[in-house]
Amino acid sequence: MLSRAKLGMYIFGSKETLSNSDTLFARCADLMQKRGLCANYLPLMCQQHPSTNMDITKASELHKLSPEGGCNLACLHKLPRCGHICRRSCHSDDRSHEAYICRSECNRLLSCNHPCEGFCGDQCGKCRRIVRKVLPCGHEKYLECSNITYECDVRSAVTYLCGHKGIQSCHDAIALEAAYATTYTSVTEIPELVWSCKDKCAVSRVCTHHCEEKCGSCIRATLALCQDLGNGPLRNMIDVISKIERTHFSPCREPCERLLLCGNRCAAFCHSAGECPPCSKPCAVKCAHKSKCPVKCLDSCASCSESCVWSCPHQGECCLPCGSPCIRLPCDLKCSKKLSCGHPCPSVCGEKCPSPATSCTQCAKEMYLNQVIDFVELTSLREYDVEHDQPLITFPCGHSTVLESADQIVQLHLGYNNNEGQYSLIALPNGPMQTPQCPACKAPITDVQRYGRVLNHISAELNSRKFGIKIARSIRAFHTKVSSFRKDLGELDENSKTRPILEAMKMHVQGITVDMKSLIAKACSAHPAQRTYEKSMAALLRMNKEFEDGAKFFILQYEPNSQILLEVRKLQIECIAPIFRLNYFELLLKKRGIQKKFLLYFSKTIKQIENLATEYQAIALKSHCKKKHIELMYSVAHAYLQLVEVSVLVKKNSDADSKRGCNELEKTCYNNVVSACDTIGAMTLLGDEYRSGVGLIRKQVESLISDSEQLTDAERKMIFDAMAPEIGMRFCLLQDNC
């Protein structure tokens, strides 16, 4: 290695280590030591600055003495493009300085004659010098010289289309005036700035609530309905908008707060009358036994079956269950007990003594002392005289009212006849009633023993109504399922009547049949109000017969909702014909003995409709539901005609005997259609309704016949020919005189 050196060689290592060895390097080390060629540093020289010598003793000194490959002196090379000198330290790379970017201050002029304030090696950008500018609106602003798109932000007063005053930036105010002076043909063309009014609309809605939306949004919705938008500048619409009814941007979001039958307030957003959703609050029915009802207010619940606790020394005790309308007479005497505070009880005899914090004239809280208890004389609890004034009734909410006012609020006269303080039972009224409320806080009034007859009757009626609403919802859901089934069945053609399809339809029929049986069972079952009646009668029957005969007249028997029963029956009849048609398709696949089996099934189905129609007419006549009765007869007539449609299909490929059998059964169907029409006629042809009733029958029968798409014209004519003479005479009378 030593013999290969040409210009020179540096050997790095420990001289002592080399000297102690027996190798050639030991002799070399001694020779170099004698010649003064050993040292503890590395001498370096800068190629650009030869006079600069650097003795490096360790590696870290190289980064300090030669940071960029030269020495630590400045480069000072004159740049060829701009004439500035290089600001780097002495460097060994890029000696021509072609890649060097000059970081000196730029000395070029911009288009605005201002000097560039960037670096010399960068592209000259926008002028950043801050100058005073006069904006198009006339306002002055200190801005960068290059800023020519600045929007003036000086606050200016504006008037919107709605008439409200507002504050906008000067730029937006000018744009708003320009928009007002422009003619538009569509609301979508109008700039968003026009609708920027942030004030509340505050216009009264149909529901009487004030609109809380932004006024600009409602103005846009109103203007979208205006037909004269393109007849002039937008400014002209200010007067037009003030004359037309305001259209609101969104539905009212105020709480409905309508009083529901249960006594609670509707918690849903504001909506039109009659659309309040079922109450989802916990059941508000309470009694003296402090039991908690597990259901929600929207569901019917069972009345309390425990013994009634209402009793007093003067009128005795109530013998009925706690949840039944009481048959005990009220007592108007004042309670003789003391409150827990030791002061006299202000309540009426037979009631539970109220809390001193709400009803004591000396111990009650300030808020209760200031409440009005007599709405005639407008006296407060503070002014009440326990010894001489009439008794108080304290409601569960804690507010109190004098006896006379409380009797009027709860309508005690609905259950009792008061003849100068002498009470007697009267029959309770039928129909839904409103749960009474506390006049101070609007809370439902419950669990007051004196009003057990009225309040429990209201609760029973309400339970009956809830039960009916729940069944009605089930009927609507079932009706949708039946309609879907009939539609699917109607889409079947001769090619699609295969075993898999019919099996699927058969499964659907089985589901409908199960649902129908369940629905009928629910509709016909004894609802909670009916069970309340049964509890009351059972309690009387355990007593002596003399008392029972006198009291049972005053116990109201809550009947099931006849209209619901008729609606369920109507659905049941509407299901018969589609199922009959499906079974016929199933018979087609068997291809053996179809005519005989069909005639037997046809006869059974007719008999089924006849039995159902007879049973349901009895319900309709008993309940006096004229409209439902007519609808039921229409469904019966339609069901018979659907049976005829299937019979016509069977006769096309039948022998003579089968055709005769089908004709006989069809004639029975036609006669039953006539009978149904006679029933409808008897209910509609009364007095001045004679002619209109005839037209109604004729129109309906024609509609039923025309719906039978499988019938020929001759067969449709045969239906009219088979009708009873009375119906034929009515048709003639209609044609001759109407």
Mean pLDDT within 101-121: 87
Mean pLDDT within 295-311: 82
pLDDT for 684 equals 56
The kind and range of the H/E element at 132 are strand 130-134
pLDDT for 348 equals 92
Tell me which DSSP letter residue 214 carries.
B
Q: How far is CA 605 from CA 581, 602, 665, in A?
A: 11, 5, 10
pLDDT for 12 equals 79
pLDDT at 494 over 70: no
pLDDT for 77 equals 85
Task: Band the pLDDT of 299: cuts 50, 70, 90.
Answer: confident
Describe the crossing of helices 452-490 and 528-541 by its angle, rounded to 10 degrees.
140
Share of the chain above pLDDT 90, in %: 4
Task: Band the pLDDT of 238: cuts 50, 70, 90.
Answer: low
pLDDT at 92 over 50: yes
Q: How far is CA 565 from the centre of its chain?
A: 30
pLDDT at 163 over 70: yes
pLDDT digits (tens, 9 = 90+) for 464-479: 777 777 777 777 777 7
Listed as own residue / partner, the contacts of 651-660 with beta carbons closer than 8 Å and 24 or more positions apart are 654/595, 655/595, 657/595, 658/595, 658/596, 658/598, 658/599
**Which of 75-84, 140-149, 300-309, 612-621 is predicted with the least confidence, judged by mean pLDDT?**
612-621
Nearest to 216 by CA among 235, 239, 191, 240: 191
**Which of 55-59, 135-139, 674-678, 713-717 is predicted with the least confidence, judged by mean pLDDT?**
713-717
pLDDT for 723 equals 43
Q: How far is CA 225 from CA 35, 212, 220, 686, in A?
A: 111, 21, 9, 48
> Where do the H-state alpha helices sit in 624-712?
626-651, 656-684, 690-707
**Is the model more confident about 319 or about 248?**
319
User: Do the Cβ atoms of 400 and 373 come closer than 8 Å?
Assistant: yes
pLDDT for 184 equals 75
pLDDT for 730 equals 40
pLDDT at 112 over 60: yes
**Which of 28-42, 277-291, 560-574 is predicted with the least confidence, judged by mean pLDDT?**
560-574
Instruction: Report, in angstroms and rounded to the nearest whole number, the Rg of the chain calculated over CA atoms.
Output: 50
pLDDT at 541 over 60: yes
User: Do the Cβ atoms of 319 and 543 come closer than 8 Å?
Assistant: yes
d(CA 313, CA 304): 24
pLDDT at 366 over 80: yes
pLDDT at 383 over 50: yes
d(CA 705, CA 728): 16
Predicted structure pTM score:
0.57
Q: Is 447 left (phi over 0), alpha (psi -120 to 50) or beta?
A: left
Q: How far is CA 622 from the centre of its chain?
A: 40
**Is the model more confident about 394 or about 602?**
394
pLDDT for 324 equals 84
The residues that bridge with 380 in the sheet, in sequence order, are 372
Mean pLDDT within 78-82: 84
Listed as own residue / partner, the contacts of 317-321 with beta carbons closer than 8 Å and 24 or more positions apart are 318/452, 319/539, 319/540, 319/543, 320/535, 320/536, 320/539, 320/540, 321/532, 321/535, 321/536, 321/539
Backbone φ and ψ of 492, nearest 5° = -70, 135
pLDDT at 390 over 80: yes
pLDDT for 32 equals 82
Tell me which DSSP letter residue 330 carries.
P
pLDDT for 688 equals 41
pLDDT for 24 equals 77
What are the extents of the domains in the chain?
A: 2-91, 155-243, 287-559, 561-738
Task: Band the pLDDT of 419: cuts 50, 70, 90.
Answer: confident
Q: Which residue has the tokens 């006679």?
A: 678
Describe the crossing of helices 656-684 and 690-707 by its angle, rounded to 10 degrees.
150
Give the contacts of 611 (CB within 8 A, at least 6 positions apart). Answer: none
Q: Which residue has the tokens 């309609």?
A: 483
Q: Which of 456-470, 586-600, 669-683, 688-702 has the highest mean pLDDT?
A: 456-470
d(CA 129, CA 105): 15
pLDDT for 713 equals 61
Q: Quick check: helix, strand or coil at residue 225?
A: coil
Q: Which residue has the tokens 């249960």?
A: 262
pLDDT at 728 over 50: no
Mean pLDDT within 294-301: 78
d(CA 266, CA 400): 25
Q: Which residue has the tokens 């009928």?
A: 520
Q: Are strands 42-45 and 53-56 parallel, antiparallel or unpaired?
A: antiparallel
pLDDT digits (tens, 9 = 90+) for 426-453: 888 877 778 888 888 888 888 888 998 8
pLDDT for 710 equals 47
Share of the chain above pLDDT 70, in %: 77
pLDDT at 192 over 60: yes
Mean pLDDT within 408-416: 89
Give me the DSSP letters along 511-547.
HHHHHHHHHHHHHHS--HHHHHHHHHHHHHHTS-HHH
pLDDT digits (tens, 9 = 90+) for 595-610: 777 788 888 888 888 8
Task: Band the pLDDT of 401: cuts 50, 70, 90.
Answer: very high
**Is the model more confident about 232 or about 189?**
189
The residues that bridge with 158 in the sheet, in sequence order, are 166
pLDDT at 724 over 60: no
pLDDT for 692 equals 47
pLDDT for 235 equals 66
Count the residues in the chain.
738
Nearest to 401 by CA among 446, 453, 358: 358
pLDDT for 248 equals 65
pLDDT at 262 over 50: yes
User: Do the Cβ atoms of 577 and 643 come closer than 8 Å?
Assistant: yes
pLDDT at 686 over 60: no
Tell me which DSSP letter residue 387 carries.
T
pLDDT at 731 over 50: no
d(CA 308, CA 331): 16
Mean pLDDT within 637-663: 76
Q: What is the mean pLDDT of the chain?
A: 76
Task: Band the pLDDT of 317: cuts 50, 70, 90.
Answer: confident
Mean pLDDT within 241-257: 68
Q: Quick check: helix, strand or coil at residue 4?
A: helix
**Which of 108-122, 207-221, 300-314, 419-433 is predicted with the least confidence, judged by mean pLDDT?**
207-221
User: Do the Cβ atoms of 426 and 417 come closer than 8 Å?
Assistant: yes
User: Do the Cβ atoms of 153 and 170 come closer than 8 Å?
Assistant: yes
**Is the model more confident about 136 or about 22?**
136
pLDDT digits (tens, 9 = 90+) for 688-720: 443 444 455 455 555 555 555 445 566 555 555
Tell me which DSSP letter residue 184 carries.
-
